[in-house]
Chains A and B, each alone.
Chain A
Amino acid sequence: MKKRKIKENMRRNAREEWQKIRQMDRKSAAVYIWDYYKLWIIGIVTFVFLVIYFITVFLNRPKDTLLHVTMVNFYDNVSEKSDFYKDFIEYSGFNVEEGDVIFDANVFFNLIRPADSKSSYFQKTIAFLEAKTTDAVICEYDNLMGIGAGGRFLDLSDEKVKSIYEKYQDRIVYLAESEERDEEVPIGIDISDSPVLARMNGYTDKCYIAVSAYTERLDAVEVFIDYLLS
């Protein structure tokens, strides 16, 4: 009973309102509508705008990732237009229509400097490792040991990466034992003599690649290491 009454009331009000607006000239009608309904108008426009925005973003969602490599302190171009990128795609045979291959070189820190252990770039790297965004990290010795001490790199003697371990046994570097660890842990592969990197203006010092402890794309990582050392 009550609900129907309210509905009738609303309908009658709307009709009256419409009559009132129709009788005004165009200008005063616009002023009237704006004065009384501006919140509704702004709200609806914003809402429509947001819906459109989310639909466009949703349609342009990034594809799945095939491989994501973080390159710390690497100053050469590794974007999708670079030779490095194109060359690797050709080598690996990855289909970039199916998913993205990402090289992220926008990371700069050096853990030998105390202030850098709280640098935003270091935190970004940790976040990327833990969120399974990144699959492998290329960096210099101090950073390798610094990040490695947090246990976020994969122990290369693990069954999962047996083939990598066997292939590059002579290149492996170990994280030294410490108070908390009573054994050395193999975490990095020396890639300083990589012919691919030598062609680029990247590292002047020795550099290493380490595999994320959380990654699920180990095959792609192996292809990438093979590429670096081919």
Chain B
Amino acid sequence: MANKSGKAPMTSWEKNQFKWGWIFILPTMIGLIALNIYPIFATVYQSFFKTGDFGRGNIFVGLENYATMIKDAEVWQSLWNTIKYAIIEVPFSICIALVLAVFLNRKMKGRSVYRAIFFLPMIAAPAAVAMVWRWLYNSQFGLLNNLFGLHVEWISNPKIAWISVAVIGVWSILGYNIVLFIAGLQDIPHDYYEAAEIDGASGVAAFFNITLPLLSPTIFFVLITRVIGAMQVFDLVYMVMDRTNPALPKTQSIVYLFYQYSFNFGNKGYGSAIVMLLLAVILIVTVFQNIGQKKWVFYN
């Protein structure tokens, strides 16, 4: 766009786009700035303070919170836990959901029944979900160990616990990803598949040659939002673990750490600094994804 310099006058078409573009995005932007952006800047500001306890007022400490954070092993351990969690959750939840969504998009018997079933976990009571997983993972009475005759300590062995937690994550996010993928699949015109069928392409070939490229904008969206969501995992760990659990330090997430500082310890300045670290990490990952998308995402 040559006109970005502002020197050449805008054509009427450009003026039109400018006017309508802003009209379209204005409601969202106003709401977002008032509801979210302003609190974010308040958080940034807060990260330079030490919260004054017991009604004594805040103290400006400059970059001290950040300096403490860089030396804090607990922060880095939590960040690493979160990244490990994301590495499991994101690819598995996306791949499984993609395959299931493709199946559910075929014309076949019982399709709407399956779709309804896959929707149900989203509205199940959290207490029920927690109970079921505790029961599955219990090392003495648990279903998994009893069914397969194992003696695995699913949630108290630090080496396995984070995988067990990530499995719950995959399970609970599957339904959402399926909804998104089905929506994306429905926008793919049927003609493409008919043409492929005439050419004698197999279902697998059609999946790789038609479905994947045409669905790539949706996959990209799910990938970006899932990475962000996984990095923000909060209380999944506490669904199945107690504070006495020896594996806890190896599974605690970064958002949980931030929460503890801000809500439980009342150290909001340090909590805000942790949020800034998380933000920086997510930002870097997202920027790389955005650069990478040019290689594989296909827009009409």
Interface residues of A (CB under 8 A from B): 114-115, 117-118, 122-123, 126, 146, 149-155, 158, 160, 180-181, 185, 187, 213-214
Contacts and interface: CB of A to CB of B under 8 A. Distances in A.
A58 to B, nearest CB: 19
Contact of A149 (B234, B242, B259, B264): B264
Contact of A123 (B53, B54, B260, B263): B263
Contacts of A115: 238, 242
Nearest to B52: A151
A155 B265 CA distance: 16
Given A118-B235, A118-B238, A118-B259, A158 B264 contact: no
A151 B51 contact: yes
B294 interface: no
Contacts of B267: 180
A187 B243 CA distance: 27
B121 interface: no
A221 B243 CA distance: 36
A127 B183 CA distance: 38
B82 to A, nearest CB: 16
9 smallest beta-carbon distances between A and B, as pairs:
A151-B53, A150-B266, A114-B243, A213-B55, A155-B54, A151-B266, A154-B55, A115-B238, A151-B54
B266 A155 contact: no
A180 B50 CA distance: 12
Contacts of B235: 118
A24 B242 CA distance: 74
A158 B263 contact: no
Nearest to A158: B55
B238 A149 contact: no
A155 B260 CA distance: 22
B19 interface: no
Nearest to A214: B55
B56 interface: yes
B263 A122 contact: yes
Interface in B54-69: 54-56
A114 B56 CA distance: 29
A178 B267 CA distance: 14
Given A151-B53, A154-B55, A117 B266 contact: no
A117 B54 contact: no
Contacts of A160: 55
Interface in B33-91: 51-56
Contact of B260 (A117, A151, A152, A180): A117
Contacts of A114: 238, 242-243
B266 A152 contact: yes
Contact of B265 (A149, A153, A158, A187): A149
Contacts of B256: 118
Contact of B264 (A117, A185, A187): A117
Contacts of B265: 149-150
A118 B239 CA distance: 11
A149 B54 contact: no
Nearest to B234: A118
A28 B263 CA distance: 63
A127 B77 CA distance: 29
Given A152-B266, A187-B54, 13 more contacts: A114-B238, A115-B238, A115-B242, A117-B263, A117-B264, A126-B263, A149-B266, A150-B266, A151-B52, A151-B53, A155-B55, A155-B56, A180-B267
A115 B240 CA distance: 10
A158 B54 CA distance: 9
Of B51, B260, B263, most buried by chain A (CB within 10 Å of CB) is: B263
Nearest to B54: A155
B54 to A, nearest CB: 4
A147 to B, nearest CB: 9
B54 A185 contact: yes
A88 B242 CA distance: 41
Contacts of B56: 155
B42 to A, nearest CB: 12
Nearest to B244: A114
A194 B206 CA distance: 76
A122 B259 CA distance: 12
B28 to A, nearest CB: 18
A149 B54 CA distance: 9
